[in-house]
Structure formats: structure tokens, C-alpha cells
């Protein structure tokens, strides 16, 4: 059985998240999703939704077999526990594939690192970014 890991913040779910997880699920038989803890999200604005709420929402998505909260200090701890065959990065995630591959090798984790495909908006008003969703809410409600 091919185990696949996808990871991310998953704040305010949108079609881009679903596309990423469908793409990741298609790369194996079992999809594990690691949801970043709020305190570990340092490359962008912190999540609006609580950690457990984001895990609960991701768990409810059809392509996902299991979702869990990331480790508070070491992002590779859940990877070691899951022992995946493939780690799938989102098409626009800030992670460096080569650096992740090197870190995995250092830890003795033998798995492939791939990128998910991008999902283009299907109509003019479709938003595929949590930040853009928040901006639209602010524009329309404030």
C-alpha cells in the first residue's frame, strides 16, 4: 500500500485545498494529512481558525484517510510515524523540495517528494487563496 502525506495550514478551506488533496490522494492508496499548528505558521499570517477545527474540517474531506495536527517542535516527527512513500507539496507551498529530500535522507526516511499540480480558477469570482477570501470578506463586510 502506497502511503502519501500532504501537509499545510488549511485555514478556511477552499477549492484549491481540495484540488491539492485530490491530487495527493491520486498518488497512492492512503492519504495522511498533517495540519500545521498555528504557532508553527511563520511564513504568512497566522490561521484564523483553531488548530482542532482545521483538523476536523480536513478529516471530513473525501480524499483524506487520516488527518492529524503537526508536531509542536519538529515537523518530521509525524513523517517518521507515518513512514510515507510519497510526500506531496502544494504547487505554491514555500517548501524547498531539495532541502526536504536532504532532511529526509539525514533521518533515514526513504520517500519521494513531489509537487501537486496547480488548479486554475474555473470562473472569474472563484478564490483559491485563504488570504484572498479574507480580503474579500473585509472588503464586503467592513
* Known binding-site positions for ATP: 9-10, 14-17, 92
Contact of 32 with 82, CB cutoff 8 Å: yes
Q: List beta partners, residue 34.
A: 7, 68
Classify 70 as helix, strand or coil. Answer: coil
**In which residue are the cell numbers 517518521 written?**
80
Entry pTM: 0.94
Cα→Cα distances 18→57, 72, 76, 103, Å:
11, 25, 23, 27
**Structural domains in the chain plus CATH codes:** 3-141 (3.40.50.620)
Tell me the three cell numbers of residue 104: 529526509
Give me the tens of pLDDT residue by residue for the chain, a chain 142 residues long: 999 999 999 999 999 999 999 999 999 999 999 999 999 998 888 999 999 999 999 999 999 999 999 999 999 999 999 999 999 999 988 888 999 999 999 999 999 999 999 999 999 889 999 999 999 999 999 8
* Known binding-site positions: 9-10, 14-17, 92
Amino acid at each position: 500500500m502506497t502511503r502519501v502525506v500532504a501537509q499545510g495550514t488549511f485555514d478556511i478551506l477552499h477549492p484549491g485545498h481540495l484540488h491539492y488533496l485530490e491530487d495527493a490522494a491520486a498518488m497512492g492508496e492512503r492519504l495522511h494529512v498533517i495540519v500545521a499548528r498555528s504557532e508553527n505558521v511563520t511564513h504568512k499570517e497566522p490561521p484564523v481558525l483553531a488548530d482542532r477545527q482545521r483538523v476536523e474540517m480536513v478529516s471530513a474531506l473525501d480524499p483524506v484517510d487520516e488527518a492529524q495536527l503537526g508536531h509542536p517542535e519538529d515537523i518530521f516527527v509525524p513523517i517518521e510515524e507515518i513512514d510515507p512513500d510519497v510526500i506531496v507539496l502544494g504547487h505554491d507551498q514555500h517548501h524547498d523540495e531539495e532541502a526536504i529530500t536532504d532532511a529526509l535522507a539525514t533521518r533515514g526516511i526513504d520517500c519521494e517528494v513531489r509537487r501537486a499540480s496547480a488548479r486554475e480558477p474555473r470562473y472569474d469570482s472563484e478564490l483559491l487563496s485563504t488570504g484572498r477570501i479574507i480580503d474579500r470578506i473585509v472588503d464586503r463586510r467592513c
